[in-house]
Structure 1
């Protein structure tokens, strides 16, 4: 989990190259922030790097003063070797003329390293990445030009990678390659960019090419060249215009991206609703109704979003099989050409989900992708794609990811319901009203969530309970509290709580109930009573004007809507509760420890 940014200009830019690289890294810091570094060519290769956050390292080593026309930058989340100056990227060859940055894992690095050491190469770091620089150096020594040496090096490495490399002896190109890990090209006038994701390039250009798995090539200031299996690709036909503005990828006056993105949800939901394509929905609904088995695949927040669909599909006489992406092999012997998989990933680059989808497709399973990123790996590995169109999500803790995914999946359900002959006009009106209801939810519940955070900040643990279709919302709420506030939070089916978990409940123990499923509310009240009898602090998200509020110590009222869209409204105060609790406890919710935005390694 690392971030890559490289840029090459036809002539020296108005701002120092180092400043441009530093700004690119700041856009990428959510992908990893235990170390940072840059490499530029300016009368030789200059490398500056160290452990620490981007701003700290940049100031310490004077990034902003570095000059040149070609450079690489990297922010790291460690996978091989501890976060320190030696292991920080970029890595260089023995002669100090080749610099490489990398996101992913080189699986066979140990054997390559041993081979290269026998040939006299000296390694400075514990990382897997360094072997790439030495491989290219080795093949250049054998008489190959840089691009040929780079290609030969790629033929030797196994694993997931996005790579960018510069050579001070051939400084008019940045060489790149991709396998599984995300990589894009930003196409400019008099410059080109290689980067891990779209928001990083928006300060410079909105014209983007998504590099596909197995592709490699180079950029110069005026050319983008891509090959696959030795065959040049038509890059001009693949340029896409990104509708996001650079401002959409900044905090916009909010103290943190997470809070900004919680408040952006009405706009994101409106964009999702407006972008739903009837033909695509009908294709998915028809496949859903015709499938033998329906697998709903996702990781983390996306898995929880998928569960909101899984809990209501039985009403269509469909028995779904929810699959945590990393556990896809459990059902491997069942996958069949008559099956359907709905694979969900905000980035479309989550490696566990990509691997699950590839395994399913090998056995003929039809795949529907639900993703936010056009041109992502998941979108290309799928038969049908439903884009959530939520805009960039910079906060590590997913917020609008969940709500826009739930809305998209609810639209699939409605389309299937209509295909079975049901009248869904009222539900369609509710769908269009969801963005405004989300806005009202934020306005009505922010104050209560902030006050509750003050009460939770000294607690060590909490339960999140729900029944039926409310359970995925409880799971998502608990995940958010764990991710950003570092409080132990467990979600359970409310009826299961008395089978063991209730033993932990004592005076003041926080128990958060979710009343988003109208079919299970009365039964959930019995669990409220059980917790109150043990002295728990009972909190609940409840529909406005319901009687549930009277039974709770603290009720967070949200606008009423059907159970299809209720998860969207009920999760919003839980997102805010997690955010404000993190702030109360003195943590930065945009940089939760040990986490990165997109999980691109196993």
Structure 2
């Protein structure tokens, strides 16, 4: 995510920028920095860590400036460090930028620039942008045209703020697939990633749309498209209070993050899918690690994780075994090291942790490394302990997740594991090129299908309003859906404190059916057509014993008519990938049950975001 800010006016720019960044720390807290125009030079101050460390760094300086840009970082390329902190500058320090987003083609652009003699100071994708602008600027000394020409060379998502010492009266900003808001003041103007940074100063804003550019002066703002054509639009007036603004107008971070899943999945997936000249998806690329010949000879994958991440691992078990024909063992990390596990040096060991600091998962990782295994980490936090100690790392690009109960972290973990399974299948020869292309193309449709589900969330909200007082809730499913059932039950108990359990649907008759009565709700997850008849029988079994039944399914054949009280339809999808869709209604159900019961879903009792103790 990251947070960017900018200011042009008559006030002390340093203080305006620091205060604005404080309102955006929920967007990133790995590092922070500012660049201000002081006299005829750009002064940059930045450092690793929370914003308070930047404040301490500049506390004894007197910085006189009325224009500048600032950044608070959530790392995606390059670990948190002083060098990787924003803003980034060109080689002679005359142009400085801040960036929120991901530049997909940065590696090729960087190689080209290095061949031309450009020296890079960081490992970030962002630094490529400022050197490209510098290169274009040297052609005609027109900073606006230099920015436009650079934008046409970038692939990916970005919100940019650009400062040039030769143009001391303006800041240029641009937006593509990352949010950017322009604040309109009296004798001053602002940019920010989110509204909270602006509310202290103004409530009149321009929300920049896709591929729009804004040029901020002290007394006006000019808007353009990416071709340089002028745009006229009406400003909006913000009515939100500060708390609502931080949540993007949503009442809680959990529902905000549920709704961010299409973007999180798109950001995580898009840089990793290789396409040919015709736009056909052909392969998976993991820049962060070496997916190599070890996948061809391995006979087993071992996955360890805790909680939600463990459930992502169970989805992966089905995917690896189906697509790559590899035996997979999934272990709860808190149990793994205590049972004297049997490991082979050719095993591939995968650990999953949103924070990268989960102590049980770290212990499992260290045991595997001690036994000589190759360890791959999947985490959301660049520079975390897990990412540093693993041999290879795959980052989920979900951005900061504030709510304790994981939602977008889970879906991006599953997505990374599915990409890894597809890559393994290709390497092992169990998937043809056509199989790979078909799966990747369908994966690219997932964000849009999640958006379709989210548009219908009022159906789940209404159902939750009638079921939130159930004494017991059971989630059932088969194959991939049984893994989703586990995560669904966990989500409900985490935030609503309702008793919920999950079972492979066929296990109902082996004991759990004794618990079924008219005080029970059974949520059946049914995405595999060849198993519809089987799970339909399970529905009839529980419904005849008084239970209320909800089914989450893509079925359009009427297979469940008369067997359920409510059907929530999801878009059609192959059973291999459908776990990315079936979990969304369950997340929504958990959230709305918590609201109905009067609980704060962002801060469930007795739970913490990262478990760093045994």
TM-score by length of 2: 0.61
- Among 185, 194, 202, the alignment partner of 2:49 is 194
Once residues 333 and 585 of structure 2 are traced to their aligned partners in structure 1, the CA distance between those partners, rounded to angstroms, is: 27
Distance 1:190 1:328, change over 3 A: same
Of 519, 527, 543, 1:516 maps to 527
Alpha-carbon shift at residue 333 of structure 1 (Å): 4.3
1:355 shift after superposition: 1.7
> Which residue of the other structure, out of 363, 376, 379, is the alignment partner of 1:371?
379
Q: Is residue 305 of structure 2 the alignment partner of residue 298 of structure 1?
A: yes
Following the alignment from structure 1 to structure 2, what is the Cα–Cα distance between the partners of residues 22 and 429? 40
- For residues 353-389 of structure 1, what are the alpha-carbon distances to aligned partners after superposition, in whole Å with 9 as ceiling and x for unaligned? 1221111111111011222222222222222222221
Which residue among 258, 263, 277 is the counterpart of 1:262? 258
Deviation readout 1:223-256 (Å, 9 max, x if unpaired) = xxxxxxxxxxxxx757896978753994111111
Report the Cα offset of residue 481 of structure 1.
0.5
Work out the CA distance in 2 between the residues paired with 1:570 and 1:346.
20
TM-score, scaled to structure 1: 0.62
Q: Provide the rounded CA distance (Å) in 2 between the counterparts of 1:459 and 1:276.
A: 43
CA–CA distance in 2 between the matches of 1:482 and 1:207? 30
Structure 2 counterpart SS, 1:312: helix
Match runs of 1:9-20 below 5 Å: 14=15
Inter-partner Cα distance in structure 2 for 1:523 and 1:346: 35
1:110 matched residue in structure 2: none
Change in 2 beyond 3 A, CA 1:280/1:22: closer
Number of residue pairs the alignment of both structures matches: 414
- Residue pairs, 1:201-212, within 5 angstroms: 205-206=72-73
Deviation readout 1:512-570 (Å, 9 max, x if unpaired): 11113344332111111110110110111011413333121111110010012111111
Partner of 2:494: 483
Q: Counterpart in 2 of 1:271?
A: 267
Q: Distance in 2 between matches of 1:410 and 1:196?
A: 36
Give 5+ residue unaligned stretches, structure 1: 1-10, 29-182, 213-235
CA shift, 1:184, in A, is 4.7
Q: Which moved more, 1:279-288 or 1:19-28?
A: 19-28
Q: Which moved more, 1:398-407 or 1:483-492?
A: 398-407
Could you say which residue in structure 2 is the equivalent of 1:280? 286
Partner of 1:247: 194
Unaligned 5+ segments in structure 2 are 1-11, 35-43, 57-68, 82-120, 128-157, 159-177, 180-192, 197-245, 274-283
Please name the residue that 1:394 is paired with: 402
Q: Would you say the 8 A contact 1:207–1:239 is kept in 2? A: no
Call closer, same or farther: CA 1:548–1:485 in 2, change over 3 Å.
farther
SS, match of residue 548 in structure 1: coil
Q: Distance in 2 between the 1:237 and 1:438 partners?
A: 35
Which of residues 574, 584, 589 in structure 1 aligns to 2:601?
589
**Alignment map for 1:121-140 (pairs within 5 Å):** none
- Equivalent residue for 2:584? 572
- Decide whether aligned partners of structure 1 residues 203 and 577 sit closer, same or farther in structure 2, where only a CA change above 3 A counts: farther
Aligned to 2:541, the other structure's residue is in SS state: helix
CA distance in 2, matches of 1:15, 1:475: 47
Deviations 1:21-69 (A, max 9, x none): 98699889xxxxxxxxxxxxxxxxxxxxxxxxxxxxxxxxxxxxxxxxx
Provide, for residues 68-123 of structure 1, a one-character-per-residue CA deviation record: whole Å limited to 9, x for no partner: xxxxxxxxxxxxxxxxxxxxxxxxxxxxxxxxxxxxxxxxxxxxxxxxxxxxxxxx
RMSD: 3.6
**Offset of 1:479 from its aligned partner?**
0.7
CA spacing shift, 1:197–1:414, aligned 2, 3 Å:
farther
Corresponding position: 1:450 with 2:461:
yes
